[in-house]
Amino acid sequence: MWHQHLLPALFPQIILAAASVLCLLLIAWKRNHAVVHLFTLLSLILALASLGKIYDATAVDGLFVIDGLGVFVEGVILIAVFFITIFSYPYFFQSQIEKEEYYVLLLLATLGATSMVISNHFVSFFLSLEILSVSLYTLIAYPKKMSASVEAGVKYLILAAVSSAVLVFGLGLIYVQTGQMSLAELGKLATGGIGANIWMIVGLGLVIAGLGFKLALVPFHLWTPDVYAGAPAPTSAFVATISKGSVFVFLWRLFSSVGTMSHAVQLIFVVIAIASMLIGNWLALLQQNLKRLLAYSSIANLGYLIVAFVASGETGLHAAMFFLVAYFICMLGAFGIISFLSEPAESGQQERLSLSSYTGLFWQKPGLAVLLALIMLSLAGIPLTAGFIGKFYVLLSGVYSTQWLLVIVLILSSVIGLFYYLRVVIQLFSRPETPVSYPASPYAVSTGLAFLVLFILLIWFGVAPGHLMDQISQMVHMIKG
Amino acid sequence: MISVPVSVQLLLPSVLFLIGLLGVLIRRNVIFMLMAMEIMLNAAGLVFIIGSSLWKQADGQVMVIFILAMAAAEVAVGLALILQVFQMHKTVDVDQLQELKDERERG
Amino acid sequence: MDVFHLLWLVPAFPLAGFLILALFGLRLHSRAIAWIGTGSIGLSAILTLWIGVHFLTQPPANYQYSLTLWTWFDINGFAPGIALYLDPLSLVYIFVITFVSFFIHLYSTAFMRSNEGYVRFFAYMNLFVFSMLVLVLANNLLLLYLGWEGVGLCSFLLIGFWYRDEVNGYAARKAFIVTRIGDTAFIIGLFLLVKQFHTLNIQDILQQAPVVWSAGATAVVWVTILLLGGAVGKSAQLPLQTWLPDAMAGPTPVSALIHAATMVTAGVYLIARTHVLYSLAPAVQLLVAIIGLLTLLIAGFSALAQHDLKRILAYSTISQIGYMFLALGVGAWTAAIFHFMIHAFFKALLFLAAGAVIMAMEEEHDIFKMGGLRKKMPVTFWTFLVGSGALAAIPLITAGFYSKDLILFDAFASTQGSFWLWLGGFVGAFITVLYTFRMVFVTFYGEQKKPITHNPEEEKAMMIPLVVLAVLSVIGGWIELPHAWAHFTPFSDFLTHVLPPTNLKPDMESQEFMLQLLTAVIVFAGIYLSWLAYVKKPALSASWKNTSLGRACHDFFYKGWMFDQLYDKLFVKPVVWISRIDPHDFIDYIYEGFGRLNVLIHAGFSRTQSGYVRWYLLCIAIGILFIFSLILFV
């Protein structure tokens, strides 16, 4: 059945798909970095504008569901990609490779991510996941003359493809058992009770593993630091934020439609969350490479997010959404700063990775240093930053659902985390023996503006988070199981 | 018509899947790893075929077509990357890809 | 438009000043820094004046105004608000804070000019003023605590401002650690309050307290003792007074602002703000009075033996805050606040004048190496004299007389007062006169012992604050006349909207005149005595000091009644001793072990990040197996 009036609901996806094709044509017609960059920004704005007022529409032919949750995360993703696009320009500015296709891939990956958050069916989910993944392989290995990037690309390709296979195999088993691929139909079955068939459970387990890989949860996390470190910084930002946020939404949709979590499934997630929080923070403890440190930090942060997931319910979902936004801001800002301060990605040229190369950043670029310090404090969960509210919200959701073990581990691991976040902050403010030189970055105005916006958001959501919370609780409602 | 129980039907894709997984784990040559991944994906496709025939639906078969298409796309990108790796390192052994890892200078 | 809606701007201006200075300060010209640093406080002061006039002419309902800026967050009913609360008490405080800060900032623009870290200084100072305003305007305990810690942090940063000298760093740490002892008690007290009342709102707590707690209930005694602990730490009262004299390591404007006029009186504010609780715990309130009395005597005697100009003033501050505690302890709430205000004026004045003297003497602090500055520095001398007069409470013409006299009278005549409390305060007043005029005579009279190279009197920015504060130190007292003279008490009347009036025993007013006469006599006797000992016959004091008893007393007082040595023996030495016989402390093992354990775990997991894709794959496979086993066996 085709409902014409539902067409506007898919405008963002249509715009993104059309934009990527147009972008390719544009490149074929005339290769110009600035024009392509601006075109990408414009199409993102257009997609964002088309989100407007569609979140009361419901299902689109069983494949997609347009609800508040989906639209909210779509909006967050589009804004995040907007920032990443801005950061990409100075990063590739002086690069000798052909850089225009990067934006095409960025648009395609965004198409995959935005489709995934409104997916309501195995087919649409698989399709959007693969669009996202395949774009990511190339985004990661984009500076093809850099051995690190190519290595990261190959590693991610192998691991992600295997995990996709695991995931699809699991989905297939669920399909065999239920005869349904639509989450809505699965939800109807679940109320009647899905038998605890061994194949069904194996299927769910495989799906958890597959999604766990995409979310970089322990023990499926090992790829994270290698890929973050090898990929160009804007891509790392994409992997850290958007690909995880969109997969998380699908995870939530899947398990809330399969019904109240069975004891065993809940236990799996509890164990995974605890392991991710602790191991992520432990791994980061003495890490000297800023990108790897952020990777480990993201593992721990996804662990916190799973606490909200286990807590489930309305509070859990709202907490997760708030936490996700705070986490997005931090990761975008951190990788944005790395890409801004790095020499252009050329063969043989390393990015600015080691912590010691950030020593005394404050005395040369105080604005950037203050932002980076604030990001670290936010990740550490210091009050008056968005990260504090996010973590506190997650903590409260854990308390309300009486997940005491998770709550305790969350607090303990935060203490461990504090150590390495403060280590970075100290590094930024201490005076170096020999002043570190920073490249004179071109095109600093839009980037600087983007940093300023992130700075303001970080403080705003920390000091007066009410606006964001209202927005979330207005839009995002518990999906009917 | 003789009907085979579902569990027995599922054995075949399961075995295929395990073969693929073992292949990925054991082989060091990236090209073979890609092939093993294909086996895994196709095993997953087989599961959907089984489901499709079991529930008398076309949905599962649609999914298989998607899986095939995406597998092809993955291999295409994968081969391109392998080519690049080979140009740089003159090898397609994944264990030689050792640039990215945790430094271990501390005790 | 309702001017009270602008209340949030009062702390917002200093915060904005701090942010500008912290973010862009390194690129600003020093003149711009001075303008931003001082101007932001000036705007606050003007706004406070406007609000104050409005408050007096068109007071809000019940003389209290609450401004909720926003609710920080609201998660399932737990909703700490960011709200300001204005009543006569906080109005007096913000008035004093903004105005005195403004003049001290103005003074600092010239005083700190030749220092490196000019921006840093003004940034910290603005942050301090912001924190202090938040502390007194807070509507709830969370915000109050934020301000409380904020001022502590700024105090730490500013004492150690000249951080290159190790001694200053030590003084800063000492101040931080000693006040931290009090803060720990304070935060526990706050937790008890929140646990009992399930709200953070101070006014709600104060309203419910008499309903929930009967007088003398154990809970209220504990809470008040714990809060008193915090107050004693911040206000440098017995037994936590030892940090303040060392805190003089900071620049003089810091001493004037933080360690005389504002922060150290936060304890007084706290007790006055929670007076309902103390009224419910009379025993603790008596303890407040006793602490105040002992502190004022001990600190007074210590001041008598100091040579360092700033240390004399530091001990004097401790002693004067002792008077405020005495007043609080006998239920003379308004008298305490009155003395706080007057003290802020004259003590800031004395510190600023002392700063000018020390600047002229090229960082010489010892008063016995100064002398004869009267002619060379007339403005400084006269303003210093006015400040000293107020400190010594010279009758009629100085503001200090009106405020201190009120405390002494209430200590005698209040229902909670007694003859002994009065006598202690009375003796203290005599000592105050002695050390004050000893300081004046030694510094400004006699022979000049050191030439003046750069006379700060040429700096207008330094002299204007002195004159203004001197004027305030004179006329400030006339808004509250003694009962015996006339019933002209607008200050108390204003404050009684929030603080209960002092309950006097019957038929006391007749005796007030008597007490005043006695005070007047000892003031003039004290001035004469110190004139005799330090100007007329300097040999007299020297000969007295040379007797063995005199020397012992001098040393004892000089070292601040050996409290540092006592704490050294009681707390530091045993710890050092234990650490010496047990260098590998077993508790250390726990912490270090925890640290090492984490590092070990880190190293272990770090090994897993080996870069081998196939190992990563294996981990995924193991993870899948692990999930299956969980499903199957649980």
Does residue C65 fall inside a structural domain?
no
Contact between chains at A416 and C626 (C-beta distance less than 8 A): no
When pLDDT is averaged across residues A5-15 and rounded to a whole number, the result is 83
Q: What percent of chain B has pLDDT over 70?
A: 94
Q: Could you tell me if C621 and C521 lie in one domain? A: no
Q: How far is Cα C81 from Cα C199, in angstroms, rounded to an integer?
A: 11
pLDDT of residue A261: 57
pLDDT of residue A191: 60
Q: Which residues of C touch B25 (CB under 8 A)?
A: 614, 617-618, 621
Q: What percent of chain A has pLDDT over 70?
A: 91
CATH number at residue B37: 1.10.287.3510
User: Which among B57, B63, B102 is the nearest to A122, CB-wise?
Assistant: B63
Contact between chains at C617 and B107 (C-beta distance less than 8 A): no
Q: What percent of chain C has pLDDT over 70?
A: 95
pLDDT of residue C159: 86
Does residue C178 fall inside a structural domain?
no
Contact between chains at A161 and B74 (C-beta distance less than 8 A): yes
Q: How far is Cα A305 from Cα A321, in angstroms, rounded to an integer?
A: 9
Q: How far is Cα C607 from Cα A276, in angstroms, rounded to an integer?
A: 17
Q: Distance, in angstroms, between C622 CA and closest chain B CA?
A: 12
Q: How far is Cα C290 from Cα C411, in angstroms, rounded to an integer?
A: 11
- Which chains border B (3 or more CB–CB pairs < 8 Å)? A, C
User: Which among B66, B100, B102 is the nearest to A123, CB-wise?
Assistant: B66
Higher model confidence: residue B38 or residue C531? B38
Q: Distance, in angstroms, between B40 CA and closest chain C CA?
A: 13
pLDDT of residue A366: 83
pLDDT, one tens digit per residue, over C454-465 is 777 777 888 888
Any chain C CB within 8 A of the CB of B77?
no
Contact between chains at B25 and C603 (C-beta distance less than 8 A): no
Contact A37, A48 (CB under 8 A): no
Any chain C CB within 8 A of the CB of B21?
yes
- Per the DSSP assignment, residues forming a β-bridge with C504 are C414
**φ and ψ at B93, to 5 degrees?**
-85, 120
Contact between chains at C610 and B94 (C-beta distance less than 8 A): no
The DSSP code for A143 is S
pLDDT, one tens digit per residue, over C86-112 is 888 888 899 999 999 999 999 888 888
Contact C472, C342 (CB under 8 A): no
User: Which among C606, C614, C617 is the nearest to B102, CB-wise?
Assistant: C606
pLDDT of residue A304: 95
When pLDDT is averaged across residues A346-368 and rounded to a whole number, the result is 77
pLDDT of residue A259: 65
Does residue B30 fall inside a structural domain?
yes
DSSP string, C162-180: STTSHHHHHHHHHHHHHHH
Whether pLDDT at A331 is above 50: yes
Does residue B99 fall inside a structural domain?
no
- Binned at pLDDT 50, 70 and 90, residue C247 comes out as confident
Q: Which of residues C546, C575, C610 is at a domain's end?
A: C546
Nearest to C25 by CA among C40, C7, C10, C9: C40
Does residue C313 fall inside a structural domain?
yes
Q: Could you tell me if C624 and C529 lie in one domain? A: no
Does residue C405 fall inside a structural domain?
yes
SS3 C445: coil
Q: How far is Cα C119 from Cα B52, in angstroms, rounded to an integer?
A: 74
Q: Which residues of C touch A400 (CB under 8 A)?
A: 76
Q: How far is Cα A267 from Cα C626, in angstroms, rounded to an integer?
A: 12
- Binned at pLDDT 50, 70 and 90, residue B66 comes out as very high
Does residue B53 fall inside a structural domain?
yes
Q: Could you tell me if C628 and C541 lie in one domain? A: no
Q: How far apart are the first and last CA of chain A?
A: 24
- Largest alpha-carbon pair distance within chain B? 68
Q: Which residues of A touch B44 (CB under 8 A)?
A: 165, 168-169, 171-172
- Binned at pLDDT 50, 70 and 90, residue B29 comes out as very high
Nearest to C202 by CA among C153, C151, C152, C145: C145
Handedness of CA C286, C290, C293, C295 (dihedral sign): negative
pLDDT of residue C60: 81
Q: What percent of chain A has pLDDT over 90?
A: 54
Higher model confidence: residue C204 or residue A108? A108
Contact between chains at B95 and C606 (C-beta distance less than 8 A): no
Q: Which residues of A touch B70 (CB under 8 A)?
A: 126-127, 130, 134, 164
Any chain C CB within 8 A of the CB of B105?
no
Mark C206-226 as b/e (b = at least 16 C-beta within 10 Å). bebbeeebeeeeebbbebbeb
SS3 C534: helix
Whether pLDDT at C350 is above 50: yes
Q: How far is Cα C197 from Cα C202, in angstroms, rounded to an integer?
A: 10
When pLDDT is averaged across residues A405-429 and rounded to a whole number, the result is 88
Any chain B CB within 8 A of the CB of C628?
no
**Residue ranges making up the domain that contains C589:** 584-633
- Binned at pLDDT 50, 70 and 90, residue C269 comes out as very high
Does residue C562 fall inside a structural domain?
no
Q: Distance, in angstroms, between C170 CA and closest chain A CA?
A: 21
pLDDT of residue A347: 47
Contact between chains at B101 and C609 (C-beta distance less than 8 A): yes
pLDDT, one tens digit per residue, over A210-251 is 999 999 998 999 999 999 999 999 999 999 999 999 999 999
Query: Treating both helix axes as pointing N-terminal to C-terminal, what angle do C30-57 and C9-24 enclose, rounded to 10 degrees?
Result: 170
Q: Which residues of B touch A159 (CB under 8 A)?
A: none
pLDDT of residue A439: 66
Pairing, β A64-65 against β C65-71: unpaired
- Which chains border C (3 or more CB–CB pairs < 8 Å)? A, B
- Binned at pLDDT 50, 70 and 90, residue C76 comes out as low
Q: Which residues of C touch A222 (CB under 8 A)?
A: 608-609, 615-616, 619
Higher model confidence: residue C198 or residue C600? C600
Q: Could you tell me if C535 and C593 lie in one domain? A: no
- Say what the alpha-carbon torsion angle C320, C321, C323, C325 is, to the nearest 10 degrees: 180
When pLDDT is averaged across residues C276-283 and rounded to a whole number, the result is 88
- Binned at pLDDT 50, 70 and 90, residue C484 comes out as low
Q: How far is Cα C144 from Cα A343, in angstroms, rounded to an integer?
A: 47
Contact C125, C105 (CB under 8 A): yes
Number of Cβ atoms within 10 Å of the Cβ of A396? 20
Any chain C CB within 8 A of the CB of B63?
no
* H helix intervals, A342-465: 361-364, 366-380, 386-400, 404-429, 444-463
**φ and ψ at A243, to 5 degrees?**
-65, -30
pLDDT of residue C582: 63
Task: Show Cβ contacts of residue A44 under 8 Å, excluding neighbours closer than 6 positions.
Answer: A78, A81, A82, A85, A107, A110
Higher model confidence: residue C574 or residue B52? B52
Contact between chains at B97 and C611 (C-beta distance less than 8 A): yes
**Residue ranges making up the domain that contains B87:** 7-93
User: Which among B25, B28, B100 is the nearest to C611, CB-wise?
Assistant: B100
Nearest to C405 by CA among C296, C316, C346, C327: C327
Contact between chains at C609 and B94 (C-beta distance less than 8 A): no
Closest residue in C to B18 (Cα) is C621
pLDDT of residue C331: 85
Report chain C's mean pLDDT, rounded to a whole number. Answer: 83
Does residue B42 fall inside a structural domain?
yes
How many residue contacts between A and B have a Cβ separation below 8 Å?
A: 140
Contact between chains at A175 and B51 (C-beta distance less than 8 A): yes
SS3 A207: helix
Q: How far is Cα C65 from Cα A237, in angstroms, rounded to an integer?
A: 48
CA angle C323, C327, C333 (to 5 degrees): 135
Chain B 23-52, CB below 8 Å of chain C: which residues?
24-25, 28
Q: How many domains does chain B have?
A: 1
Closest residue in C to A269 (Cα) is C627
When pLDDT is averaged across residues C260-265 and rounded to a whole number, the result is 85
Report chain A's mean pLDDT, rounded to a whole number. Answer: 87
Alpha carbon separation from C148 to A259, C63, C279 (Å, rounded): 49, 25, 23
Contact B101, A226 (CB under 8 A): yes
Does residue C375 fall inside a structural domain?
yes
pLDDT, one tens digit per residue, over C47-56 is 999 988 888 8
Alpha carbon separation from C494 to C2, C138, C229 (Å, rounded): 21, 20, 29
pLDDT of residue C279: 87
Q: Which of residues C516, C546, C576 is at a domain's end?
A: C546
- CA A27 to chain CA mean position, Å: 28
Name the helix (H) or strand (E) containing A60. Answer: strand A59-60
Does residue C57 fall inside a structural domain?
no
**φ and ψ at A131, to 5 degrees?**
-60, -45
Mark C74-110 as b/e (b = at least 16 C-beta within 10 Å). ebeeeebbbbbbbbbbbbbbbbbbbbbbbbbbbbbbb
Q: How many domains does chain C have?
A: 2
User: Which among A123, A137, A169 is the nearest to B43, CB-wise?
Assistant: A169
Contact between chains at C613 and B97 (C-beta distance less than 8 A): yes
Contact A36, A73 (CB under 8 A): no
pLDDT, one tens digit per residue, over A453-478 is 999 999 999 888 888 888 888 888 76
Contact between chains at C605 and A279 (C-beta distance less than 8 A): yes
Q: Distance, in angstroms, between C600 CA and closest chain B CA?
A: 9
Q: Which residues of B touch C610 (CB under 8 A)?
A: 101-102
Q: How far is Cα C546 from Cα C406, in angstroms, rounded to an integer?
A: 39
Identify which of A373-382, C212-221, C534-543 has the greatest average pLDDT: A373-382
- Binned at pLDDT 50, 70 and 90, residue A375 comes out as very high
Closest residue in B to C605 (Cα) is B102
Task: Show Cβ contacts of residue C466 under 8 Å, excluding neighbours closer than 6 positions.
Answer: C107, C349, C352, C353, C356, C379, C380, C383
pLDDT of residue A353: 81
pLDDT of residue B106: 44
Does residue B71 fall inside a structural domain?
yes
- Binned at pLDDT 50, 70 and 90, residue C396 comes out as confident
Q: Could you tell me if C509 and C627 lie in one domain? A: no
When pLDDT is averaged across residues C58-78 and rounded to a whole number, the result is 76
- Binned at pLDDT 50, 70 and 90, residue B107 comes out as very low
pLDDT, one tens digit per residue, over C561-596 is 767 777 777 777 776 776 666 666 666 677 777 778
Q: Which residues of B touch C617 (CB under 8 A)?
A: 24-25
When pLDDT is averaged across residues A12-21 and rounded to a whole number, the result is 95
Closest residue in B to C618 (Cα) is B25
Q: Please confirm whether the linkage preceding C245 is cis (ω < 30° from 0).
A: no
Does residue B85 fall inside a structural domain?
yes
Contact between chains at B102 and A175 (C-beta distance less than 8 A): no
Chain C 384-413, CB below 8 Å of chain B: which residues?
none
pLDDT of residue A46: 94
Nearest to C457 by CA among C385, C375, C389: C375
Alpha carbon separation from C427 to C323, C339, C399 (Å, rounded): 12, 18, 20
- CA C617 to chain CA mean position, Å: 63
Complex confidence, ipTM: 0.95
Contact between chains at B98 and C617 (C-beta distance less than 8 A): no
Q: Please, how many CA atoms are within 13 Å of residue C70, restricted to the half-sphere of its CB? A: 10
Q: How far is Cα C268 from Cα C440, in angstroms, rounded to an integer?
A: 28
Q: Could you tell me if C513 and C626 lie in one domain? A: no
